[in-house]
Chain A
Amino acid sequence: MNITETLLNVLQSGMGGLAAYLAAHVLLCLLPAFFIAGALAALIPKEAITRYLGRDAPKWLSYPASALGGFLLAVCSCTIMPLFASIYKKGAGLGPAITFLFVGPAVNILAISFTGVQIGLDIALARVILSLIFGVLIGVLMAWFFRKDDIEHAKSTENNALFSSKATIPTRSILLFLLLLAALLAGTLQIGLFQNVFYTLQLPGSWAASVQAWLDSLIPPDPSLGIEGVSVHGLMLIGLLIIIAAASLKGFHRIYEGLTRWTTVTLGLITLTLVFASLSISVTSTGLLIGLNGRFIAEIIILGAIWWVSSKAFSASEKQEWLWETWRFVKQIIPLLLVGVFLASIARTLIPASWIQTLAGENTIWANLAGVLFGVFMYFPTLVEVPVAQTFLSLGMHRGVLLAYLLADPELSLQSILITNTVIGKKKTAVYIVLVTIFSTLAGLIFGWFVN
């Protein structure tokens, strides 16, 4: 094989991975997830959670509240550090602050839904449950290790007005959140209710088969490497996504100046694309076979309800803030994610499967520790850990080790270690890192046993 051919192969697999992502998964999973993340950031008053994190809050309340706060409030990295510092210095103290810090990046709604769709519901659920349990455990342990410091800390902080708010999460925000979550689940759960086709339409046209043949020649599907290829349906969705991206620049980019007609057009396009993506479309020799399924009906009902609730129950400025936050997440994450997917797909063809299988193919302590250490030393931006994990999985990594890696990667990056250090000091940071390493390794081992 000459060099140009190799290079071409590598590029082809990168593009293939990218196209398959855009076509199949990004839409039904990530679009709703971004809207959820935006809603959490914009529509949930932070005081509704922090009121349970004051100095005088009982322990049985402050630890679960920190864990919940990590999930609801920490969608944005610029809220994590100030909140962490306040809980530590002025509120419930080191333990709950650590719980908050741990749970935030681990149970991020974007990362969890993406993990569920790409790697499997088992890993996504394990990621949520183990992160919550271990977040509280690590917090309690840290508070116990440094209990002397905590007593001094208690003396120096009087009960602070900061934490005495009586705010609650408005019912309409909860309703919207549940509807968005329903849209996410209806779009991604692989169950009969959603997948079964109850009516089929046959669109004539022989072009479909030739387009599919062209797509297969461009990006050959290779199940052994986990390369899915792109369908005609996927190609249409990629086209729609590009149109949405262009419309967003008009509709979302200057959202703070007001909701314009472009905003409505963009939102309408997103809705239609989600509904279109939920259809089951396959190519036959005579044309396109369009199957109406449960997913299609469910998406129409849920998206309709979301439109209705958000227009009735939320003010223009709340909607503006929601869309601004959503758009901010998209701008911040999607470019890095696309590059990450591209590179991860390339890596899949470059790394010999035997390496991964020897190092991390079995569920042992060392394999899990290797997974954790890889997560610590390789810093991937939010969500990129998922395509990386998928590459490892297709190369033969054990699911337990994979979970250990997925837990450690967002937790312990060099950057977050440095910032944590400035708030709680070297000694506590070091103990925290050791605890996270031990617990992530344990999590991988335990989950690995279940899988075996």
Chain B
Amino acid sequence: MEIKILGGGCPKCERLEAITREVVEELGMEATFTKVKTMPEIMAYDVMTTPALVIDECVQCYGRIPGKEEVRAWLEASGE
């Protein structure tokens, strides 16, 4: 599974990454994490606000930090 965190590296992005990493670990999944920091690359995903979470090239949420339960549901849905 390929997980991308979009955002310039502000505390929110770090928080999003930490939450996602926790859930991935809890689910015992294999995932690579990539940080996407430059504006053109972020814009290519059609997100307007960061941080954004992209799982297997699919934007799951942007502009906010999702709860752990939400992240778990997305990861499980993408893992199937």
- A46 CB within 8 Å of chain B: yes
A83-B48, A83-B49, A162-B48 given; A78·B43 CB < 8 A? no
The interface residues of chain A lying within 8 Å CB-to-CB of B23 are none
The interface residues of chain A lying within 8 Å CB-to-CB of B28 are none
B42 touches A82 (CB 8 A): yes
- A81 CB within 8 Å of chain B: yes
- A349 CB within 8 Å of chain B: no
Interface of A is mostly: helix
A89-B43, A321-B65, A422-B39 given; A78·B48 CB < 8 A? no
A46 touches B49 (CB 8 A): yes
Minimal beta-carbon separation of A119 from chain B (angstroms):
29
B67 touches A82 (CB 8 A): no
Q: Which of A46, A85, A317, A332 contacts B63 (CB 8 A)?
A: A46
> B interface, how many residues as a size bin?
20 to 34
A334 to B9, CA, bound (A): 20
Within 8 A of A (CB), among B1-47: 7-8, 10-13, 15, 19, 39, 42-43, 46-47
A82-B47, A162-B46 given; A423·B39 CB < 8 A? yes
Minimal beta-carbon separation of A410 from chain B (angstroms):
18
A331 to B8, CA, bound (A): 19
Whose C-beta in chain B lies nearest to the C-beta of A89?
B43
Q: Which of B12, B19, B47, B67 contacts A78 (CB 8 A)?
A: B12
B8 touches A81 (CB 8 A): yes
Q: Which of A82, A90, A324, A423 contacts B49 (CB 8 A)?
A: A82
The interface residues of chain B lying within 8 Å CB-to-CB of A81 are 8, 39
A78 touches B50 (CB 8 A): yes
Minimal beta-carbon separation of A90 from chain B (angstroms):
7
Q: Mark B40-80, 1 if CB is under 8 A from A, else 0.
A: 00110011111100000000000111010000000000000
B50 touches A82 (CB 8 A): yes
A50 touches B48 (CB 8 A): yes
Q: Which of A86, A321, A324 contacts B43 (CB 8 A)?
A: A86
Whose C-beta in chain B lies nearest to the C-beta of A161?
B46
Q: Mark A145-174, 1 if CB is under 8 A from B, else 0.
A: 000000000000000111000000000000
- Residue pairs across A and B with Cβ atoms less than 8 A apart, 12 shown, are A46-B48, A46-B49, A76-B12, A79-B49, A79-B50, A82-B7, A82-B49, A90-B43, A161-B46, A162-B47, A256-B15, A317-B67
B positions within 8 Å CB-CB of A: 7-8, 10-13, 15, 19, 39, 42-43, 46-51, 63-65, 67
- Which 6 interchain pairs have the tightest Cβ spacing? A78-B10, A86-B48, A82-B50, A46-B63, A46-B49, A85-B39
